[in-house]
Amino acid sequence: MSTFLVEADTPGLTVGRHEDKMGLRGSSTVPLAFEECRIPANALLGKEGQGFSVAMTALDGGRIGIASQALGIGLAALREATSYARERKTFGKPIGMHQGIGFQLADTDTELEAARLLILRAALLKEAKKPFTQEASMAKVYATEAANRACYRSLQVHGGYGYTKEYAIERLSRDVRVTTIYEGTSEIQRLVIARGLLQAG
Ligand SMILES: Cc1cc2nc3c(=O)[nH]c(=O)nc-3n(C[C@H](O)[C@H](O)[C@H](O)COP(=O)(O)OP(=O)(O)OC[C@H]3O[C@@H](n4cnc5c(N)ncnc54)[C@H](O)[C@@H]3O)c2cc1C
C-alpha cells in the first residue's frame, strides 16, 4: 500500500454529494472517488509500500486534534449547564444547589480536566518527537467519551429546554457524537492501547 498526493483537478477524481449529517453542519463531508487517475511518480508521499505507516502516523497526530475538539465541545456543554443551573430555580433554590444536579457538574468538570491532561501529555510527547501512539489513543478515547457524557448531562440539566433548538446544548449534543467515531472509533483506540500494553516487555 502506498500513499499519493492527488491534485484536485486530476481527471478521474470525482467529488460526491455532501453527506446530510446529524451534526457538524458547518463543515462539508464528501466522498471522493479515484478512477484510472494518472499521476506523476513524484506524487508519491513517503516511500513506496509504506502507505499504511504514513496513514497511521497522520492519524496519531489527528487523534490529538479530535480529542481537543471534543474537549472544547465538552467545556462549552459544561459552561451552558453551569449557567442554566444558576438561573433555573425549582423548590425554592437554583437547580445547581440540588445535589443531584451539582454532582453532575462536578463529575463533568473533573472528567474534562483529566481529558485536558491526557491531551497535553500526548501533545508534549509529539512536540518532543517521542513515540506517542498509545498516549494519543488514550487522550482520544477518554476525551471524546467524557465530552459525550458532558453533553448528555448538560442536556439533562436543561430539562425540556435542552431538547429544543433554543439552547446551544442541542447543537453541541449533535456535534459531539461523531468524535467517538472519526479519526478511529473508540473501539479502535482501545485496540491500539491494548495492543501496546500486550506488546510491551
Ligand atoms: C463527519 C465525518 C467526517 C469524516 N471525515 C473523514 C476524513 O476526512 N477522511 C477519512 O479518511 N475518513 C473520514 N471519515 C470516516 C471515518 O474515519 C470512519 O467513519 C471511521 O473511521 C469508522 O469507520 P467506518 O465508518 O468504516 O466504520 P466500521 O469500520 O464499519 O465500524 C463499524 C463499527 O464496528 C466497530 N469495529 C470495526 N472494526 C472493529 C474491530 N476490529 N474491533 C472492534 N470493533 C470494530 C467500529 O468501532 C464501529 O463501531 C469521516 C466520517 C464522518 C462521520
Pocket test for ligand 1, best of 182, 183, 193 (most atoms within 8 A of CB): 182
Same domain, 38 and 103: no
Cell numbers 487523534 label which residue?
63
Same domain, 136 and 182: yes
Active-site pick, 80, 111, 145, 183: 183
- Ligand 1, atom 8, lies closest to the CA of 29
Give the Å distance between the CA of 178 and the centre of ligand 1.
10
Pairing of strands 89-90, 93-94: antiparallel
Residue type, 93: K
Same domain, 31 and 116: no
Mean pLDDT of 21-35: 96
Q: How confident is the model at residue 163 (pLDDT cuts 50, 70, 90)?
A: very high
Pocket test for ligand 1, best of 187, 192, 193, 195 (most atoms within 8 A of CB): 187
Same domain, 2 and 88: no
| Burial of residue 94 (number of CB atoms within 10 Å: 0-12, 13-18, 19+) | middle
Give the Å distance between the CA of 34 and the centre of ligand 1.
20
pLDDT (0 to 100) of residue 93: 98
Same domain, 16 and 77: no
Residue that terminates a domain, selected from 49, 70, 88: 49
- The enclosing domain of 33 has a CATH number of 2.40.110.10
Task: State the residue range of the domain holding 161.
Answer: 52-199
pLDDT (0 to 100) of residue 103: 98
Q: Which residue, among 36, 34, 49, has the nearest Cα to 3 in the 3D structure?
A: 49
Pocket of ligand 1 (CB under 6 A): 21, 24, 29, 178, 181-182, 184-185, 187-188, 191
Pairing of strands 32-34, 3-4: unpaired
Distance CA 51, CA 55 (A): 6
Distance CA 119, CA 64 (A): 6
Same domain, 116 and 170: yes
pLDDT (0 to 100) of residue 201: 73
Residue that terminates a domain, selected from 15, 32, 49: 49
Total domains, the chain: 2
Active site residue 183: yes
Distance CA 45, CA 58 (A): 12
Give the Å distance between the CA of 12 and the centre of ligand 1.
25
Distance CA 112, CA 85 (A): 18
Residue 20 has pLDDT above 90, yes or no: yes
Same domain, 120 and 165: yes
Residue-wise pLDDT tens digits, 111-162? 999 999 999 999 999 999 999 999 999 999 999 999 999 999 999 999 999 9
Backbone phi, then psi, for 180, in 5-degree steps?
-85, 0
pLDDT (0 to 100) of residue 181: 98
Same domain, 43 and 56: no
Mean pLDDT of 37-45: 95
- The enclosing domain of 153 has a CATH number of 1.20.140.10
Residue that terminates a domain, selected from 49, 64, 86: 49
Same domain, 6 and 37: yes
Mean pLDDT of 81-106: 98
pLDDT (0 to 100) of residue 3: 96
pLDDT (0 to 100) of residue 200: 84
Same domain, 183 and 171: yes
Same domain, 138 and 75: yes
- Ligand 1, atom 43, lies closest to the CA of 187
pLDDT (0 to 100) of residue 76: 98
Percent of the chain with pLDDT over 90: 98
Q: Euclidean distance between the first and final Cα of the chain, in Å?
A: 29
Same domain, 195 and 165: yes
